[in-house]
Protein backbone atom coordinates (compact mmCIF):
# COMPACT_ATOMS: atom_id res chain seq x y z
CA UNK A 1 0.00 0.00 0.00
CA UNK A 2 2.77 2.38 1.06
CA UNK A 3 4.54 1.55 -2.17
CA UNK A 4 1.52 2.37 -4.27
CA UNK A 5 1.13 5.76 -2.64
CA UNK A 6 4.81 6.45 -3.10
CA UNK A 7 4.62 5.47 -6.78
CA UNK A 8 1.56 7.61 -7.29
CA UNK A 9 3.34 10.58 -5.67
CA UNK A 10 6.39 10.05 -7.85
CA UNK A 11 4.23 9.91 -10.95
CA UNK A 12 2.44 13.05 -9.89
CA UNK A 13 5.73 14.91 -9.39
CA UNK A 14 6.96 13.57 -12.74
CA UNK A 15 3.80 14.64 -14.48
CA UNK A 16 4.06 18.10 -12.97
CA UNK A 17 7.66 18.34 -14.07
CA UNK A 18 6.93 17.17 -17.60
CA UNK A 19 3.88 19.40 -17.61
CA UNK A 20 6.00 22.40 -16.64
CA UNK A 21 8.68 21.66 -19.19
CA UNK A 22 6.06 21.14 -21.85
CA UNK A 23 4.26 24.34 -21.01
CA UNK A 24 7.21 26.45 -22.13
CA UNK A 25 5.78 26.68 -25.57
CA UNK A 26 4.40 23.26 -26.43
CA UNK A 27 3.15 22.71 -29.97
CA UNK A 28 -0.35 22.54 -28.50
CA UNK A 29 -0.04 25.90 -26.77
CA UNK A 30 1.45 27.54 -29.81
CA UNK A 31 -1.28 26.00 -31.89
CA UNK A 32 1.21 24.24 -34.15
CA UNK A 33 0.42 21.23 -36.25
CA UNK A 34 2.82 18.42 -35.40
CA UNK A 35 4.16 16.69 -38.51
CA UNK A 36 6.25 13.53 -38.41
CA UNK A 37 8.28 13.29 -41.60
CA UNK A 38 10.02 10.03 -42.40
CA UNK A 39 12.61 10.80 -45.05
CA UNK A 40 14.12 7.72 -46.69
CA UNK A 41 17.72 8.88 -46.76
CA UNK A 42 20.28 11.38 -47.98
CA UNK A 43 21.62 9.41 -50.92
CA UNK A 44 21.61 12.09 -53.61
CA UNK A 45 21.63 15.81 -54.43
CA UNK A 46 17.96 15.41 -55.28
CA UNK A 47 17.26 14.07 -51.80
CA UNK A 48 19.16 16.89 -50.09
CA UNK A 49 17.10 19.44 -52.04
CA UNK A 50 13.94 17.56 -51.12
CA UNK A 51 14.78 17.51 -47.41
CA UNK A 52 15.53 21.22 -47.52
CA UNK A 53 12.25 21.99 -49.25
CA UNK A 54 10.31 19.92 -46.71
CA UNK A 55 12.03 21.31 -43.61
CA UNK A 56 11.54 24.87 -44.88
CA UNK A 57 7.85 24.26 -45.47
CA UNK A 58 7.32 22.73 -42.02
CA UNK A 59 8.74 25.63 -40.05
CA UNK A 60 7.22 27.15 -36.93
CA UNK A 61 6.46 30.36 -38.85
CA UNK A 62 4.31 28.27 -41.15
CA UNK A 63 2.47 26.80 -38.18
CA UNK A 64 4.23 23.46 -37.83
CA UNK A 65 6.34 21.54 -35.41
CA UNK A 66 8.41 19.07 -37.42
CA UNK A 67 9.66 15.73 -36.18
CA UNK A 68 12.19 14.59 -38.75
CA UNK A 69 13.71 11.15 -39.22
CA UNK A 70 16.33 10.12 -41.79
CA UNK A 71 16.07 6.37 -42.44
CA UNK A 72 19.42 6.10 -44.21
CA UNK A 73 17.89 4.12 -47.09
CA UNK A 74 16.65 1.35 -44.81
CA UNK A 75 12.96 0.60 -44.86
CA UNK A 76 13.09 -0.98 -41.40
CA UNK A 77 14.25 2.39 -40.05
CA UNK A 78 11.24 4.01 -41.69
CA UNK A 79 8.89 1.50 -40.04
CA UNK A 80 10.41 2.37 -36.66
CA UNK A 81 10.14 6.10 -37.36
CA UNK A 82 6.48 5.90 -38.37
CA UNK A 83 5.65 3.80 -35.29
CA UNK A 84 7.40 6.39 -33.12
CA UNK A 85 5.36 9.16 -34.71
CA UNK A 86 2.20 7.19 -33.93
CA UNK A 87 3.32 6.72 -30.31
CA UNK A 88 4.03 10.42 -30.00
CA UNK A 89 0.56 11.20 -31.32
CA UNK A 90 1.60 13.52 -34.14
CA UNK A 91 -1.19 15.26 -36.07
CA UNK A 92 -0.05 14.07 -39.46
CA UNK A 93 2.57 11.73 -40.91
CA UNK A 94 4.45 12.45 -44.12
CA UNK A 95 6.24 9.49 -45.62
CA UNK A 96 8.84 9.49 -48.42
CA UNK A 97 8.98 5.70 -48.87
CA UNK A 98 12.14 3.86 -49.85
CA UNK A 99 10.48 0.93 -51.64
CA UNK A 100 6.85 0.63 -52.75
CA UNK A 101 5.85 -2.48 -50.82
CA UNK A 102 5.81 -3.44 -47.14
CA UNK A 103 3.67 -0.58 -45.80
CA UNK A 104 0.29 -2.22 -45.19
CA UNK A 105 0.78 -2.97 -41.50
CA UNK A 106 2.32 0.26 -40.35
CA UNK A 107 -0.13 2.37 -42.34
CA UNK A 108 -3.01 0.38 -40.83
CA UNK A 109 -1.61 1.24 -37.42
CA UNK A 110 -1.55 4.94 -38.31
CA UNK A 111 -5.10 4.70 -39.58
CA UNK A 112 -6.24 2.95 -36.40
CA UNK A 113 -4.64 5.76 -34.40
CA UNK A 114 -6.56 8.29 -36.51
CA UNK A 115 -3.42 9.87 -37.98
CA UNK A 116 -3.61 10.81 -41.66
CA UNK A 117 -0.63 9.96 -43.85
CA UNK A 118 0.60 11.84 -46.91
CA UNK A 119 2.98 10.03 -49.26
CA UNK A 120 5.60 12.14 -50.98
CA UNK A 121 8.02 11.54 -53.88
CA UNK A 122 7.87 7.76 -54.51
CA UNK A 123 4.64 5.82 -54.11
CA UNK A 124 3.40 3.02 -51.88
CA UNK A 125 1.68 -0.06 -53.14
CA UNK A 126 -0.95 -1.09 -50.56
CA UNK A 127 -4.04 -3.29 -50.80
CA UNK A 128 -6.28 -0.68 -49.23
CA UNK A 129 -5.76 2.78 -50.66
CA UNK A 130 -7.66 4.39 -47.79
CA UNK A 131 -4.53 3.76 -45.72
CA UNK A 132 -3.17 7.07 -46.97
CA UNK A 133 -4.76 10.39 -47.63
CA UNK A 134 -2.88 11.58 -50.66
CA UNK A 135 0.28 11.03 -52.66
CA UNK A 136 2.36 13.67 -54.40
CA UNK A 137 5.41 13.10 -56.56
CA UNK A 138 6.69 12.63 -60.09
CA UNK A 139 5.31 10.56 -62.92
CA UNK A 140 8.42 8.39 -63.23
CA UNK A 141 7.10 6.39 -66.16
CA UNK A 142 6.53 9.60 -68.07
CA UNK A 143 10.09 10.67 -67.25
CA UNK A 144 11.45 7.37 -68.54
CA UNK A 145 9.37 7.54 -71.71
CA UNK A 146 10.62 11.04 -72.34
CA UNK A 147 14.17 9.73 -72.19
CA UNK A 148 13.46 6.81 -74.50
CA UNK A 149 11.63 8.99 -77.05
CA UNK A 150 14.54 11.41 -76.99
CA UNK A 151 17.01 8.55 -77.58
CA UNK A 152 15.04 7.31 -80.59
CA UNK A 153 15.11 10.78 -82.11
CA UNK A 154 18.75 11.38 -81.24
CA UNK A 155 19.89 8.14 -82.87
CA UNK A 156 17.85 9.01 -85.96
CA UNK A 157 19.43 12.47 -86.00
CA UNK A 158 22.87 10.84 -85.84
CA UNK A 159 21.89 8.55 -88.71
CA UNK A 160 22.25 5.44 -86.54
CA UNK A 161 18.80 3.92 -87.10
CA UNK A 162 20.30 0.76 -88.60
CA UNK A 163 22.98 0.29 -85.99
CA UNK A 164 22.94 -2.09 -83.08
CA UNK A 165 22.76 -0.05 -79.90
CA UNK A 166 24.15 -1.42 -76.64
CA UNK A 167 22.74 0.16 -73.53
CA UNK A 168 24.30 -0.03 -70.10
CA UNK A 169 21.50 0.46 -67.60
CA UNK A 170 22.29 1.71 -64.10
CA UNK A 171 19.34 1.13 -61.82
CA UNK A 172 18.34 3.00 -58.68
CA UNK A 173 17.26 1.37 -55.42
CA UNK A 174 15.36 -1.83 -56.22
CA UNK A 175 11.64 -1.60 -55.64
CA UNK A 176 11.50 2.22 -55.48
CA UNK A 177 8.89 3.75 -57.80
CA UNK A 178 11.58 5.91 -59.42
CA UNK A 179 13.51 2.72 -60.25
CA UNK A 180 10.56 0.56 -61.27
CA UNK A 181 9.08 3.07 -63.68
CA UNK A 182 12.30 4.41 -65.22
CA UNK A 183 13.33 0.78 -65.71
CA UNK A 184 9.99 -0.10 -67.27
CA UNK A 185 10.40 2.73 -69.78
CA UNK A 186 13.78 1.56 -71.07
CA UNK A 187 12.74 -2.10 -71.07
CA UNK A 188 9.66 -1.18 -73.11
CA UNK A 189 11.90 0.82 -75.44
CA UNK A 190 14.16 -2.16 -76.01
CA UNK A 191 11.13 -4.35 -76.78
CA UNK A 192 10.03 -1.83 -79.37
CA UNK A 193 13.45 -1.25 -80.95
CA UNK A 194 14.78 -4.54 -82.32
CA UNK A 195 18.34 -3.21 -82.67
CA UNK A 196 18.61 -2.06 -79.07
CA UNK A 197 19.91 -4.35 -76.35
CA UNK A 198 20.50 -3.82 -72.66
CA UNK A 199 24.03 -5.18 -72.13
CA UNK A 200 23.65 -5.17 -68.35
CA UNK A 201 21.53 -3.81 -65.55
CA UNK A 202 23.68 -2.69 -62.65
CA UNK A 203 22.34 -1.62 -59.27
CA UNK A 204 23.69 1.72 -58.14
CA UNK A 205 21.26 2.42 -55.26
CA UNK A 206 20.97 6.06 -56.40
CA UNK A 207 24.41 6.92 -54.96
CA UNK A 208 27.51 8.28 -56.63
CA UNK A 209 29.81 5.83 -54.85
CA UNK A 210 27.83 2.80 -55.95
CA UNK A 211 27.36 4.19 -59.46
CA UNK A 212 31.12 4.55 -59.78
CA UNK A 213 31.87 1.12 -58.33
CA UNK A 214 29.49 -0.89 -60.52
CA UNK A 215 30.50 0.87 -63.74
CA UNK A 216 34.22 0.65 -62.93
CA UNK A 217 33.87 -3.11 -62.37
CA UNK A 218 31.73 -3.56 -65.47
CA UNK A 219 34.22 -1.78 -67.72
CA UNK A 220 36.87 -4.36 -66.82
CA UNK A 221 35.01 -6.87 -69.00
CA UNK A 222 33.10 -4.82 -71.52
CA UNK A 223 33.77 -1.38 -72.94
CA UNK A 224 31.55 -1.63 -75.96
CA UNK A 225 28.83 0.74 -74.83
CA UNK A 226 26.71 3.10 -76.92
CA UNK A 227 24.41 4.48 -74.26
CA UNK A 228 24.41 4.78 -70.49
CA UNK A 229 20.89 5.07 -69.09
CA UNK A 230 21.41 6.09 -65.50
CA UNK A 231 18.42 6.47 -63.22
CA UNK A 232 19.79 9.45 -61.32
CA UNK A 233 22.42 12.17 -61.56
CA UNK A 234 24.61 11.01 -58.71
CA UNK A 235 25.06 7.55 -60.23
CA UNK A 236 25.81 9.34 -63.50
CA UNK A 237 28.59 11.34 -61.84
CA UNK A 238 30.06 8.07 -60.55
CA UNK A 239 29.74 6.47 -64.00
CA UNK A 240 31.48 9.45 -65.62
CA UNK A 241 34.40 9.06 -63.25
CA UNK A 242 34.66 5.37 -64.13
CA UNK A 243 34.55 6.21 -67.85
CA UNK A 244 37.26 8.85 -67.38
CA UNK A 245 39.48 6.34 -65.60
CA UNK A 246 38.94 3.78 -68.36
CA UNK A 247 39.77 6.42 -70.96
CA UNK A 248 36.36 6.25 -72.66
CA UNK A 249 34.82 9.36 -74.17
CA UNK A 250 31.20 10.32 -73.65
CA UNK A 251 28.70 13.11 -74.18
CA UNK A 252 28.00 15.16 -77.29
CA UNK A 253 31.40 14.62 -78.89
CA UNK A 254 32.15 11.27 -77.31
CA UNK A 255 31.43 7.61 -77.92
CA UNK A 256 28.90 7.01 -75.16
CA UNK A 257 25.55 8.83 -75.04
CA UNK A 258 24.69 9.69 -71.46
CA UNK A 259 21.11 9.89 -70.24
CA UNK A 260 20.50 10.97 -66.68
CA UNK A 261 17.54 11.70 -64.40
CA UNK A 262 16.93 14.52 -61.88
CA UNK A 263 18.60 17.51 -63.61
CA UNK A 264 20.23 18.89 -60.48
CA UNK A 265 22.48 21.90 -61.00
CA UNK A 266 25.76 19.97 -61.31
CA UNK A 267 24.27 17.69 -63.95
CA UNK A 268 22.98 20.66 -65.90
CA UNK A 269 26.47 22.16 -65.82
CA UNK A 270 27.82 18.95 -67.34
CA UNK A 271 25.01 19.01 -69.87
CA UNK A 272 25.89 22.55 -70.92
CA UNK A 273 29.50 21.43 -71.27
CA UNK A 274 28.28 18.60 -73.51
CA UNK A 275 29.31 15.82 -71.13
CA UNK A 276 25.77 14.62 -70.40
CA UNK A 277 23.53 14.39 -73.45
CA UNK A 278 20.14 14.37 -71.76
CA UNK A 279 18.98 15.43 -68.29
CA UNK A 280 15.39 14.48 -67.56
CA UNK A 281 13.99 16.73 -64.88
CA UNK A 282 12.67 15.36 -61.60
CA UNK A 283 11.43 18.08 -59.27
CA UNK A 284 12.24 17.61 -55.56
CA UNK A 285 10.58 20.79 -54.23
CA UNK A 286 7.62 19.06 -52.61
CA UNK A 287 7.53 21.01 -49.32
CA UNK A 288 5.04 23.69 -50.44
CA UNK A 289 2.94 21.06 -52.22
CA UNK A 290 2.57 18.92 -49.10
CA UNK A 291 1.94 22.04 -47.02
CA UNK A 292 -0.88 22.99 -49.39
CA UNK A 293 -2.42 19.50 -49.21
CA UNK A 294 -2.37 19.65 -45.41
CA UNK A 295 -4.02 23.07 -45.39
CA UNK A 296 -6.73 21.86 -47.73
CA UNK A 297 -7.27 18.79 -45.60
CA UNK A 298 -7.46 20.85 -42.41
CA UNK A 299 -10.03 23.14 -43.99
CA UNK A 300 -12.16 20.13 -44.81
CA UNK A 301 -11.71 20.42 -48.58
CA UNK A 302 -11.52 17.39 -50.87
CA UNK A 303 -7.93 16.62 -51.68
CA UNK A 304 -6.61 14.69 -54.69
CA UNK A 305 -5.49 11.11 -54.15
CA UNK A 306 -2.54 11.47 -56.53
CA UNK A 307 -0.76 14.57 -57.77
CA UNK A 308 2.01 14.54 -60.38
CA UNK A 309 4.39 17.41 -60.88
CA UNK A 310 5.00 18.95 -64.32
CA UNK A 311 8.52 18.22 -65.55
CA UNK A 312 10.67 18.80 -68.60
CA UNK A 313 14.08 17.77 -69.96
CA UNK A 314 17.31 19.49 -70.87
CA UNK A 315 19.90 19.05 -73.59
CA UNK A 316 22.67 21.42 -74.51
CA UNK A 317 20.40 23.03 -77.09
CA UNK A 318 17.66 24.17 -74.68
CA UNK A 319 19.95 24.97 -71.76
CA UNK A 320 21.66 28.23 -70.79
CA UNK A 321 23.80 29.53 -67.94
CA UNK A 322 20.86 31.65 -66.90
CA UNK A 323 18.60 28.62 -66.50
CA UNK A 324 21.26 26.91 -64.39
CA UNK A 325 21.84 29.98 -62.21
CA UNK A 326 18.15 30.43 -61.55
CA UNK A 327 17.72 26.79 -60.66
CA UNK A 328 16.66 26.13 -57.07
CA UNK A 329 18.36 22.74 -56.83
Q: Please report, as ranges, the residues that interact with ligand GYE according to CB under 6 A.
A: 43-44, 46-47, 121-122, 138, 176, 178, 206, 232, 261-262, 282
Provide the β-strand partners of residue 259: 229, 278
Taking the complex as a whole, the smallest distance from the CB of residue 159 to ligand GYE amounts, in Å, to 32
Instruction: Return the number of the residue (90 or 276) whose C-beta is nearest ligand GYE.
Output: 276
Instruction: Return the number of the residue (51 or 134) whose C-beta is nearest ligand GYE.
Output: 51
Please tell me the distance from the alpha carbon of residue 297 to that of residue 58, in angstroms, as a whole number.
16
Instruction: Return the number of the residue (6 or 72) whose C-beta is nearest ligand GYE.
Output: 72
Taking the complex as a whole, the smallest distance from the CB of residue 311 to ligand GYE amounts, in Å, to 10
250 within 8 A of 243, measured Cβ to Cβ: yes
Taking the complex as a whole, the smallest distance from the CB of residue 254 to ligand GYE amounts, in Å, to 23
215: exposed, middle or buried (C-beta count within 10 Å: 0-12, 13-18, 19+)? buried
- 231: which DSSP letter? S
Q: At what angle do helices 233-246 and 45-57 cross, to 10 degrees?
A: 160
Instruction: Return the number of the residue (46 or 58) whose C-beta is nearest ligand GYE.
Output: 46
Instruction: Return the number of the residue (90 or 146) whose C-beta is nearest ligand GYE.
Output: 146
Task: Give the three-class secondary structure for 249.
Answer: coil
CA pseudo-torsion sign 157, 158, 161, 167: negative
Please tell me the distance from the alpha carbon of residue 191 to that of residue 168, in angstroms, as a whole number.
15
Amino acid sequence: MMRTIKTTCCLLVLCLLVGCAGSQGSAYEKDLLVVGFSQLGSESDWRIANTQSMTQAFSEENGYELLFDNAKQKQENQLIAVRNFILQGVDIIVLAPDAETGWDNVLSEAKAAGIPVIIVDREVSVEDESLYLSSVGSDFLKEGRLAVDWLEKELARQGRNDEEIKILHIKGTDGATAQLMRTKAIEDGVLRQSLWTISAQLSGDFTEAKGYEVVRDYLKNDQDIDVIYSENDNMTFGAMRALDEAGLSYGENGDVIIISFDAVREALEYCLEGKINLCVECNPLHGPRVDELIRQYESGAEIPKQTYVEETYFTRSNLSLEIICNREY
